[in-house]
Structure 1
């Protein structure tokens, strides 16, 4: 049982780390997309319809970035699921920390961390969907810009 708890705890912590890494990469992508879009809008004359769809792409990227910030935001509060590990230990005395560490509460930690991981995954999925929508709007913008320049 102890090995199973250790494995589960390691798996959940790994999922959180992987989700945070994916979110960081997607934040960089959305920032680059917004910067690229801004560069195009300020240097190229675009038809109104292309500006509208480009604005939709930018709005979707901004919403994706905001969603991704929710993924990587530290969860130190005692909201849904309670606190585990170091946030809680920061409020305890030395003796309370020793007493707390004497307990085998890995199952509680797994449950709380799994809920955090699922919430992060859900936000990451939303951000990916928004990024896909932005890419589609960006592609439509490019097509409209090409057609409008002919």
Structure 2
């Protein structure tokens, strides 16, 4: 069963991509004591993810920060891909690019999907969630092929 509002985020290893390189961390450490919006995309450099999803959070990054909320983008891609994608998309300092390369966190959330038909293997569903101190307050999971409820604009309206 997928994670639900009120649930504690599972602890799983993850890589955070930053200006200084890659940081090995875990989701328990990363989300503890923070107010965070995490959004996940099926794949870096894919059309909707690159043309709409990440750009929406880049454009609205300051609006989240003005509310005291950190923003994290996650994909089941390796850290090198996430770094290159973040640079290409001109992600602002502070917007976390997270690599869930083995889909450990994605599976623990129960939000994985089989994208083998596209040659992509296991990937994350497109979603956004709002968590405070590691507890999910709101969850927005897209129906297959849609992009509405996990957009930066929709999430901001719900906060």
Report the TM-score when normalising by structure 2: 0.28
Higher relative contact order (CA 8 A, sep 6+): 1
**Structure with the higher fraction of residues in helix conformation:** 1
